[in-house]
Structure 1
Amino acid sequence: MIQRKLAVPFSVLLILTLAIGTSLQITMPTIPVYLRSLGLPLSALGFSAAIISLAALLSRPVAAWCIQRMSSLTTIIIGSGFYLAVFSIYLLFKDPMIVITARILQGIGIGLVSTALGTLVTQLLPKEQLLGGMSLFTLANAATGTLGAAWGMILIEGGAYPRLFFVGGALVLVSLFLIIFLGLSIRGHLHKVVHAKQVKVPFYKNPALKPAMIVLMLIMANSSLINFLSFFAIQKGISSIGFFFLYGFVGLLLSRVFLSVMVRRLSLYKLYFINGLLYALVFYGLTISSSVFIWTSLS
């Protein structure tokens, strides 16, 4: 249970996470469709989808530096500025290479915002409430991944791409107002995150390497699934693709109930194995049931 004095700022933080996360996720399955409409070859769409994830990954050390030198809120504002610039570029320019460049900027924004938001949760909540708070925070992030993608595909029906960009920009502006309100409401509530002294070990012996690689592979699997659905939408039409993500949100809620039970009985690696097995079944089902094969999204 979140302390009463922290309930308002933490609620604002969750709403901020939903708003800025949705502004990102509405573009994840839709920009490949948009690039295809601009004439980008299908073989190049995989690169345009992967470049945003690579930029987000490489910008995380920069995000950590910004948080240490400035603050989490300032880093979120900088990342939101990247988002706002990206939506302006999407709206004003129709050149595929400019749009792909904007995807790189958007990836940098993702790295800044996601790292700073996670850090802000740890700074805001006391240790005894951190587990419950992080559960709500991760649920909000996961919800944007399904609902945002569904909303994005619905927004571009009929080729209404400017509508998508206006909505995304509006969500970023709402996020900026929420950041200001959050900054005023958390004064005196933040505590410094104390880091343990780092012991240098060879990269290949780092204990975090194995779990990080597992998470990375699962993220790549999820990204390839979203890319696949984008390409399927290009070939078959997008009228029903958005509903897939709505069904995914229902599955997300059900999986939370499942995980709350299984996490007490199984190890983390067994849960990862179950997750990977479910992804494999999804990919196999998509491969045998559609005319667009999964390796198209990995090209």
Structure 2
Amino acid sequence: MSEKKALWTKDFVILALSNFMLFVAFQMLLPTLPVYVTDMGGDQLAVGLVISLFTVSALLVRPFAGKALDTIGRKPVLLLGLAIFLLAVAGYYWMVSVALVLAIRFLHGIGWGIVTTTYGTIVSDIIPRERSGEGMGYFGMFSNLAMGFGPLLGLWVSQNWGYGWLFAISAGLTALAMILSRLVKFKPIVPAKKQQGSVLSGLLEKAALFPSLLNLLIGIIYGGIVSFITLFGIEVGIVNIGLFFLFNAIALMAVRPLAGKLFDRKGPVWILLPGGVILGGGLLMLSYSTTEWQMILAAILFGIGVGGVQPSLQAWTIKRVDPTRRGAATGTFFSAFDLGIGGGAMILGAIAKMTSFAVMYRYSLVALGLYLLIYLIYLARQGKKTAMSESISS
């Protein structure tokens, strides 16, 4: 048996730390920017635009970022994205009106779309192919750690030191991410062949479309969680709704490496089906939660499901494409997730308005049902044995 290739290389660790710094900088602003806009005199519409404008700009830029990664190269695209992100974060404090804050929020989304697409592509270059699931799991674990730490840090800084320090620290962390990223030795790439046709050709990777479709359906469910969980807590009388994010992040961190190793050894079907069922159990549990302990259990189940499914889908996506198209594939994958979050927030928000947030979460199980049905149809058409061994075949 050949010796297993190293995963925890210097470049992998540096890139993971750089990604962690960026995610903390981003997560610090998630719970604080809506309050900042409100303090400036913004209404509920303005607060909603803080989320939607960011998502839209990230969604629009990802396919172009992916194509640039495959034609221009990884390093210049990453540095450009980090520079835009840094400019936006530092600029929030100097915006004198809600309209200007929203404008720079759009720019912020462009930077975020570029850097997250680029990080996902670069790490897929670094991780050994036979350990792609495990590597993606560990890499995502750093993002999950930031999800648990960043919002708490952002709230503490804004409440105790003010918004000036909030934006300064977030900008400082982004600058650290940029410095660390320059220490990574980028592997030379073979430029992708130019696609004939318009400038829009080649933006999406066809081989990535199927796992991206499944990711879109997961994004719809996730959009309902991140957009409405606080309002759900108010509706059912759960005061400390922040516990959901804490235990969800813990579950995500715990399951990612284990799910990644199982993906590498057994294939995607061993993660995507049971992970989807567990995710559905957490969602159903959440919809009936009226106490903190019920919500915590729901958060753990949801975290186990998402923590297994999404990195496995990402690793599966990378394995399906040619190395020269990894940028386009990563852009396609994350664009689908963004589209799911944005579309899910709108559709589920309309359902909640007509019913309740608890009922809304039960309706979101329809997206999960489609996810399982589509994947089962795929297994039936491809043959279970082929699908199970696809991720470990060369």
| TM-score tier (shorter) | 0.7 to 0.9
Alignment partner of 2:6 out of 3, 7, 25: 3
Cα gap change, 1:284 to 1:51, in 2 (>3 Å): farther
- Once the 2 structures are TM-superposed, how far is the Cα of residue 117 of structure 1 from its aligned partner? 1.0
Cα gap change, 1:171 to 1:159, in 2 (>3 Å): closer
Correspondence list, 1:106-255, <5 A: 106-157=108-159, 160-182=162-184, 186=185, 190=187, 192=189, 209=209, 211-228=211-228, 245-255=245-255
Q: How many residues align?
A: 280
Match of 1:192, as an amino acid? I
Cα-to-partner distance string for 1:146-178 (whole Å, 9 max, x where unaligned): 322232233222582222111110001111111
- Once the 2 structures are TM-superposed, how far is the Cα of residue 298 of structure 1 from its aligned partner? 7.9
Contact 1:25 1:149 in 2 (8 A): yes
Structure 1 distance, partners of 2:176, 2:99, is 29
Structure 1 distance, partners of 2:95, 2:351, is 25
Structure 2 distance, partners of 1:233, 1:140, is 27
1:26 partner SS: helix
Structure 1 distance, partners of 2:351, 2:80, is 31
Structure 2 distance, partners of 1:193, 1:285, is 52
- Once the 2 structures are TM-superposed, how far is the Cα of residue 240 of structure 1 from its aligned partner? 5.9
Cα gap change, 1:92 to 1:77, in 2 (>3 Å): same
- Once the 2 structures are TM-superposed, how far is the Cα of residue 257 of structure 1 from its aligned partner? 7.3
Cα-to-partner distance string for 1:118-138 (whole Å, 9 max, x where unaligned): 111122233234333222112
When the two chains are superposed, the root-mean-square deviation of aligned CA atoms in Å is 3.8
Structure 1 distance, partners of 2:351, 2:91, is 25
* Identical-residue share of aligned pairs (%): 23
Alignment partner of 1:275 out of 254, 262, 279: 279
Cα gap change, 1:297 to 1:253, in 2 (>3 Å): farther
Contact 1:124 1:191 in 2 (8 A): no
- Once the 2 structures are TM-superposed, how far is the Cα of residue 24 of structure 1 from its aligned partner? 1.4
Match of 2:250, as an amino acid? V
Cα-to-partner distance string for 1:87-114 (whole Å, 9 max, x where unaligned): 1221111411111122211111111111
Structure 1 distance, partners of 2:171, 2:61, is 22
2:103 maps to which residue? Answer: 101
Contact 1:56 1:111 in 2 (8 A): yes
Cα gap change, 1:278 to 1:230, in 2 (>3 Å): closer
Structure 2 distance, partners of 1:287, 1:47, is 31
Structure 2 distance, partners of 1:130, 1:32, is 37
Cα gap change, 1:258 to 1:120, in 2 (>3 Å): closer
Structure 1 distance, partners of 2:124, 2:259, is 22
Q: TM-score, normalised by structure 1?
A: 0.76
Cα gap change, 1:258 to 1:66, in 2 (>3 Å): closer
Any gaps of 5 or more consecutive residues in structure 1?
199-205
Structure 2 distance, partners of 1:269, 1:214, is 11
1:80 maps to which residue? Answer: 82
Structure 1 distance, partners of 2:22, 2:31, is 16
- Give the stretch that moved more between structures: 254-263 or 83-92: 254-263
Structure 2 distance, partners of 1:22, 1:96, is 24
Cα gap change, 1:252 to 1:49, in 2 (>3 Å): same
Alignment partner of 1:63 out of 62, 65, 79: 65
1:28 maps to which residue? Answer: 30
- Once the 2 structures are TM-superposed, how far is the Cα of residue 228 of structure 1 from its aligned partner? 3.5
Any gaps of 5 or more consecutive residues in structure 2?
196-205, 295-347, 354-394
Contact 2:70 2:191 in 1 (8 A): no
1:92 maps to which residue? Answer: 94
Match of 2:181, as an amino acid? I
